[in-house]
């Protein structure tokens, strides 16, 4: 084999390596510029499936856990921001997850409640198949609880129907289901 063949082979090999590295660097730049979902959302889906998927130019604002949310192991729901926080004071950070949700047509009164009933799957008041139903209050004939539609939809509630279902995306519904057995505290804040 002559020296020209060896030089040509080395040159082609070097070009291939440089091209591969340039390709990888270009992909890394694209990944670095993209918005990364935090462990606290997984917003619509994640996370919240109730909000739009964030774009690279916009960072979603995650509301801070309200100071008036109490203490201890609890689910916190804000009727003002339509946000949920799962709080475990034994963890660091204490907020295990947080995400936006879509409320029903009626909101629960701020206060402290306990999960009293759970249903793996059923039909919601809107006729959709829902899962991970975690109920925590009843007021004026309206049942309040968290759930996720099996089809992943989080539509705005029909204002003509009195519904207290607080919908999340399916991944967030699973988080609430796993976090909130019967008896766990649910704190509703303004």
Question: Could you read off the pLDDT tens digit of each residue along the chain, which spans 190 residues?
Answer: 665 544 444 444 444 433 433 334 444 333 333 333 334 433 333 333 333 333 444 667 889 999 999 999 999 999 999 999 999 999 999 999 999 999 999 999 999 999 999 999 999 988 899 999 999 999 999 999 999 999 999 888 989 999 999 999 999 999 999 999 999 999 999 9
- Using the structure block, give the residue that is written with the tokens 């793996």: 120
Residue 164, beta-bridge partner list: 144
Q: What angle do CA 64, 93, 95 make, to 5 degrees?
A: 45
pLDDT at 43: 36
What pLDDT, on the 0 to 100 scale, is given for residue 31? 33
Q: What is the pLDDT of residue 41?
A: 39
The per-residue pLDDT for 7 is: 44
| pLDDT given at position 59 | 62
> How many whole angstroms separate alpha carbon 85 and alpha carbon 77?
7
What are the CA-CA distances from residue 56 to residues 27, 42, 66, 163 (Å)? 15, 15, 28, 35
Cβ(115)–Cβ(134) under 8 Å? yes
Please tell me the predicted confidence (pLDDT) of residue 131. 98
Q: Quick one: pLDDT at residue 170? A: 97
Contact of 51 with 167, CB cutoff 8 Å: no
Q: In this predicted structure, what is the pLDDT of residue 62?
A: 84
Alpha helices in 34-159 (DSSP H): 43-46
pLDDT of residue 126: 85
């Amino acid at each position: 084999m002559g020296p020209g063949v060896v030089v040509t082979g080395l040159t082609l090999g070097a070009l291939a390596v440089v091209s591969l590295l340039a390709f990888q660097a270009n992909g890394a730049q694209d990944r670095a510029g993209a918005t990364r979902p935090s462990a606290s959302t997984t917003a619509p889906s994640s996370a919240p499936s109730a909000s739009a998927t964030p774009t690279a130019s916009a960072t979603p604002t995650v509301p801070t856990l309200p100071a008036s949310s109490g203490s201890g192991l609890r689910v916190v729901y804000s009727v003002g921001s339509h946000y949920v926080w799962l709080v475990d004071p034994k963890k660091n950070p204490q907020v295990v997850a947080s995400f936006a949700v879509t409320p029903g047509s009626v909101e629960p009164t701020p206060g402290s409640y306990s999960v009293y009933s759970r249903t793996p799957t059923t039909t919601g008041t809107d006729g959709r198949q829902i899962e991970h139903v975690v109920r925590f209050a009843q007021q004026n004939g309206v049942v309040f609880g968290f759930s996720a539609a099996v089809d992943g939809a989080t539509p705005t509630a029909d204002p003509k129907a009195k519904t207290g279902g607080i919908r999340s995306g399916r991944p967030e519904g699973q988080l609430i289901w796993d976090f909130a057995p019967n008896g766990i505290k649910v704190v509703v804040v303004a």
